[in-house]
Amino acid sequence: MAAAGAAGQEKQLAPTLLSFFIYNPKLGPKEGEEEKKILFYHPNEVEKNEKIRNVGLCEAIVQFTRTFSPTKPAKSLHTQKNRQFFHEPEENFWMVMVVRNPIIEKHKDGKPVYEYQEEELLDKVYSSVLQQCYSMYKLFNGTFLRAMEDGGVKVLKERLEKFFHRYLQTLHLQSCDLLDVFCGISFFPLDKMTYLKIQSFINRMEESLNIVKYTAFLYNDQLIWSGLEQDDMRILYKYLTTSLFPRHMEPELAGRDSPIRAEMPGNLQHYGRFLTGPLNLNDPDTKCRFPKIFVNTDDTYEELHLIVYKAMSAAVCFMIDASIPPTLEFCRKLDSIVGPQLTVLASDICEQYNINKRISGAEKEPQFKFIYFNHMNLAEKSTIHMRKTPSVSLASVHPDLMKILGDINSDFSRGETMDEMQTLQLLQPC
Amino acid sequence: MAAAAGRQPPGPAEGEAPAAGREAGAGGEEGEGRAKGGVEAGGCYLALCARPVHFEKANPVNCVFFDEANKQVFAVRSGGATGVVVKGLEDRNPISFRMEDKGEVKCIKFSLGNKILAVQRTLKSVDFLNFIPDSPQLEYTQECKVLPEKRTLKLLKNQSINVNWYMYCPESSVILLSTTVLGNVLQPFYFKSGTMSKLSKFEIELPAAPKSSKLSLSERDIAMATIYGQLYVLYLRHHSRTSNSTGAEVVLYHLPREGSCKKTHILKLNRTGKFALNVVDNLVVVHHQDTETSVIFDIKLKGEFDGSTTIHQFVLPPRSIQPYQIPVAGPPSVTSQAPVPCKLYSSSWIVFQPDIIISASEGYLWSLQVKLEPVVNLLVDKGKLMDFLLQRKECKMVILSVCSQMLSEPERGSLSVIATVFDKLNNEYKKYLEAEQSYTMVVETGLSRSNPLLKRPVRTQAVIDQSDMYTHVLSVFTEKKEAPHKFTIAVLMEYIRSLNQFQIAVQHYLYELVIKTLVQHNLFYMLHQFLQYHVLSDSKPLACLLLSLESIYPPAHQLSLDMLKRLSTANDEIVEVLLSKHQVLAALRFIRGIGGHDSISARKFLDAAKQAEDEMLFYTIFRFFEQRNQRLRGNPSFTPGEHCEEHVTFFKQVFGEQALMKPTTF
Q: Which of A195, A214, A232 to mutate to test the interface with B (most CBs of B within 10 A)?
A: A195
pLDDT tens digit sequence for B102-145:
777 888 888 877 778 888 887 777 788 777 655 556 666 655 45
- Compute the nearest-CA separation of B495 from chain A (Å): 10
Same domain, B484 and B565: yes
Same domain, B400 and B466: yes
Q: How confident is the model at residue B8 (pLDDT cuts 50, 70, 90)?
A: very low
A186 - beta bridge partners? none
pLDDT tens digit sequence for B469-505:
999 999 999 988 788 889 999 999 999 999 999 999 9
* Buried b or exposed e, range A250-259, using 16+ CB within 10 angstroms: eeeeeeeeee
Contact criterion met (CB < 8 Å) for A420 and B416:
no
Contact criterion met (CB < 8 Å) for A193 and B555:
no
CA A340 to chain centre: 31
For B225, other C-beta atoms within 10 Å of its C-beta total 22
Same domain, B471 and B561: yes
Nearest CA in chain A to B555: A376
Same domain, B121 and B185: no
Q: What one-character DSSP code corresponds to residue B79?
A: G
For chains A and B, CB pairs below 8 A equal 60
Q: What is the pLDDT of residue A394?
A: 65
Same domain, B229 and B307: yes
Nearest to B525 among A187, A190, A229 (CB): A229
Same domain, B550 and B632: no
Complex prediction ipTM: 0.83
Same domain, B571 and B601: no
Report the SS3 class of residue B44: coil
- Compute the nearest-CA separation of B659 from chain A (Å): 28
Is residue B559 within 8 A of residue A374, CB to CB? The reply is no
Q: What one-character DSSP code corresponds to residue B604?
A: H
* Among A24-33, B207-216, B514-523, the range of highest mean pLDDT: B514-523
Q: How confident is the model at residue B6 (pLDDT cuts 50, 70, 90)?
A: very low
Contact criterion met (CB < 8 Å) for A193 and B501:
yes
Nearest CA in chain A to B533: A192
Same domain, B272 and B189: yes
Contact criterion met (CB < 8 Å) for A196 and B497:
yes
B344 is a domain residue: no
Q: A-chain residues within 8 Å CB-CB of B416?
A: 204
Contact criterion met (CB < 8 Å) for B415 and A207:
yes
Contact criterion met (CB < 8 Å) for B535 and A195:
yes
Q: How far is the C-alpha of B324 from the C-alpha of B343, rounded, in Å?
A: 8
B155 is a domain residue: no
B47 is a domain residue: no
Q: What is the pLDDT of residue B54?
A: 82
Is residue B98 within 8 A of residue B82, CB to CB? The reply is yes
Angle at B605 between CA B599 and CA B607, to 5 degrees: 135
First CA to last CA distance, chain A: 20
For B41, other C-beta atoms within 10 Å of its C-beta total 11
B159 is a domain residue: no
- Counting every residue, how long is chain B? 666
B536 is a domain residue: yes
Q: Is B505 on the interface with A (CB under 8 A)?
A: no
Contact criterion met (CB < 8 Å) for A376 and B494:
no
Contact criterion met (CB < 8 Å) for A187 and B532:
yes
B251 is a domain residue: yes
Angle at A56 between CA A53 and CA A57, to 5 degrees: 85
Q: What is the pLDDT of residue A363?
A: 56
Same domain, B421 and B295: no
- Compute the nearest-CA separation of B533 from chain A (Å): 6
A307 - beta bridge partners? A318
Nearest CA in chain B to A192: B535
**What string of H, E and C letters represents the secondary structure of B299-319?**
CCCCCEECCCCEEECCCCCCE
Q: B-chain residues within 8 Å CB-CB of A379?
A: 532
Q: Which domains does chain A have, with CATH numbers?
A: 11-176 (3.30.450.70), 192-250+269-360 (3.30.450.30), 369-427 (no CATH)
Report the SS3 class of residue B431: helix
User: In this model, does residue B16 exceed pLDDT 80?
Assistant: no
Q: What is the pLDDT of residue B77?
A: 81
- Compute the nearest-CA separation of B614 from chain A (Å): 15
- For chain B, the domain total comes to 4
Nearest to A203 among B490, B533, B559 (CB): B490
B576 exposed, middle or buried (CB, 10 Å; 0-12, 13-18, 19+)?
middle
Nearest to B419 among A200, A208, A420 (CB): A200
- In this prediction, residues B373-379 reach a mean pLDDT of 90
Of B25 and B503, the structure prediction assigns the larger pLDDT to: B503
Side chain identity at B624, as an amino acid letter?
F
User: In this model, does residue B642 exceed pLDDT 90?
Assistant: no
pLDDT tens digit sequence for B153-174:
556 667 777 788 888 888 888 9
The full DSSP string for A14-64 is --EEEEEEEE-GGGS-STT-GGGGEEEEESTTS-HHHHHHHHHHHHHHHHH
Beta-strand (E) ranges in A71-156?
76-78, 82-90, 93-100, 103-108, 111-116
Q: How far is the C-alpha of A244 from the C-alpha of A237, rounded, in Å?
A: 10
Q: B-chain residues within 8 Å CB-CB of A225?
A: 529
Contact criterion met (CB < 8 Å) for A230 and B534:
no
- Which of the listed residues B568, B590, B612 is the one where a domain comes to its end? B590
Q: What is the CATH number of the domain that holds B251?
A: 2.130.10.10
- In this prediction, residues B264-282 reach a mean pLDDT of 91
Is residue B288 within 8 A of residue B248, CB to CB? The reply is no
User: In this model, does residue B3 exceed pLDDT 50?
Assistant: no
Nearest to A192 among B419, B534, B558 (CB): B534
pLDDT tens digit sequence for B29-77:
333 333 333 344 568 899 888 888 888 887 888 888 888 888 888 888 8
Is residue A85 within 8 A of residue A126, CB to CB? The reply is yes
Q: What is the pLDDT of residue B279?
A: 93
* Among B206-210, B495-499, B567-571, B582-586, the range of highest mean pLDDT: B495-499
Nearest to B493 among A203, A420, A421 (CB): A203
Nearest to B494 among A200, A206, A379 (CB): A200
Q: Is B501 on the interface with A (CB under 8 A)?
A: yes
Q: How far is the C-alpha of B76 from the C-alpha of B59, rounded, in Å?
A: 10
Which residue ranges of chain A lie beneath pLDDT 70? 1-9, 250-268, 361-366, 386-395, 414-430
Q: How far is the C-alpha of A62 from the C-alpha of A73, rounded, in Å?
A: 6
Q: Which of B533, B558, B560 to mutate to test the interface with A (most CBs of A within 10 A)?
A: B533
Q: A-chain residues within 8 Å CB-CB of B501?
A: 193, 196
Q: A-chain residues within 8 Å CB-CB of B497?
A: 196-197, 199-200
- Compute the nearest-CA separation of B568 from chain A (Å): 20
Same domain, B433 and B577: yes
Chain A interface with B: residues with Cβ < 8 Å: 187, 190, 192-193, 195-197, 199-200, 203-204, 206-208, 225-227, 229-230, 233, 376-377, 379, 420-421
Contact criterion met (CB < 8 Å) for B535 and A199:
yes
First CA to last CA distance, chain B: 111
Q: A-chain residues within 8 Å CB-CB of B493?
A: 196, 199-200, 203
Nearest to B529 among A196, A225, A421 (CB): A225
Contact criterion met (CB < 8 Å) for A207 and B414:
yes
Same domain, B546 and B600: no
Contact criterion met (CB < 8 Å) for B493 and A421:
no
Share of residues in chain B with pLDDT > 70 (%)? 84
B186: nearest Cα among B165, B156, B207, B170: B165
Same domain, B223 and B119: no
Q: How far is the C-alpha of B292 from the C-alpha of B40, rounded, in Å?
A: 11
- Compute the nearest-CA separation of A216 from chain B (Å): 11
* Buried b or exposed e, range A100-132, using 16+ CB within 10 angstroms: bbbbbeeeeeeeeeeebbeebbbebbbbbbbbb
Nearest to A226 among B494, B501, B529 (CB): B529
Nearest CA in chain B to A204: B415
Q: Is B527 on the interface with A (CB under 8 A)?
A: no
- Compute the nearest-CA separation of B492 from chain A (Å): 10
The domain in which residue B258 lies consists of 165-207+215-320
